[in-house]
Structure 1
């Protein structure tokens, strides 16, 4: 199994970075995981801004040479792991900008007759590891589970990625947030995950 870990937080002293380290540590100790690539969007200087005009059309985004390396990473990976905070009930704008550009028509999906497109990223699985200041059940009870619906239904299932797992950790700015316990939970998952 090959893992692409996409880290989206501007601070390497953050709890999100600690989760990234646990993902890598657990993966390195898992004999079923052959290779791990980490893409740090902030450190990379990824440009999340979409630009369309007469010379750069949206329908051609799947072949934009500037994004070829990132497309190759997604194609290469068996499992994609996203590590990010939840700000204002959703992932950071940096990650959303990456998604807007990478999950393009003719790369991630293809329109066909009928209501739903053909997903072109079938067979891949996804793990979303997110942290937030609010209580763990805040997105479910107050936001109608918007974060999970956005990531699972509106994005990953749309492009054919049916297996999506969430680690959604709340109370992360509290001293009672049980940080170490949650870090160990992520570490154990990646040490043992089979697919």
Structure 2
């Protein structure tokens, strides 16, 4: 299995970075994970802004040379792991900008007759590890599960990725947030996964 980890947090002295370290540690101890790449969007200075003009057309996003490296990473990966905070009920704009540019027509999906397009990323799987200040039940009860619906139904299922696992960790700024227990859970998960 080939693992692509997309890390989206601007600070390495952070709990999100500790989650990244646990993913890496568990993965390195897992004989099923043969290769691993990390894309740190902030370290990469990824530009999340969409630009369309006479020279840069939306219909050509799937062949844009400036994002070819990132498309190749997605093609290469069997499993894509996203690590990010939930801000205002959704992933950060940096990650959304990456998604806007990479999950483009004729790369991630293809329009066809009928209601839904053909997903072109079939066979891949996704793990979303997200942290938030509020309680874990907040997205479910207050936001009607908007985060999971956005990521799973509106994005991953749309492009053909059916296997999506979520870890939504709440109370992450609280001294009673059980941070180490949650870090250990992620470590154990990645140490054991095999597909």
Question: 1:38-65: CA deviations, max 9, x gaps?
Answer: 0000000000000001211101000000
The equivalent residue for 2:63 is 63
Q: Which residue of 2 aligns with 1:103?
A: 103
Mapped to 1, the partners of 2:167 and 2:139 lie a distance apart of 13
Say yes or no: does 1:29 pair with 2:47. Answer: no
Residues 135-192 of structure 1, C-alpha deviations (whole Å, 9 max, x = no match): 0000000001000000000000000000000000000000000000000000000000
Match of 1:136 in 2: 136
Output the CA distance in 2 between the equivalents of 1:40 and 1:24: 13
- How far, CA to CA, are the matches of 2:191 and 2:35 in structure 1? 13
Report the counterpart of residue 153 of structure 2 in structure 1: 153
**Shift in Å, 1:87:** 0.5
Which residue number corresponds to residue 174 of structure 1?
174
Matches of 2:177 and 2:112 in 1, distance apart?
46
Q: How many residues are paired up?
A: 195
Separation in 1 of the partners of 2:167 and 2:20? 12
Is 1:38 paired with 2:33? no
Distance 1:58 1:23 in 2: 35
CA distance in 2 between counterparts of 1:52 and 1:14 reads 35
With normalisation by structure 2, the TM-score equals: 1.00
Unaligned 5+ runs, structure 1:
none
Q: How far is 1:194 from its partner?
A: 1.0
Residue 114 of structure 1 is matched in structure 2 by 114
Equivalent position of 1:76 in the other structure = 76
Give TM-score scaled by structure 1 length. Answer: 1.00
Cα separation, 1, equivalents of 2:165 and 2:114: 28
Q: Secondary structure at the match of 2:91?
A: coil
How many angstroms apart in 2 are the aligned matches of 1:169 and 1:9? Answer: 15
SS in 2 for 1:43: coil
Counterpart Cα distance in 2 of 1:6 and 1:124 = 15
After TM superposition, the runs of 4+ consecutive aligned structure 1 residues lying more than 6 A away are none
**CA positional deviation for 1:110:** 0.1
Q: CA deviation at 1:4?
A: 0.2
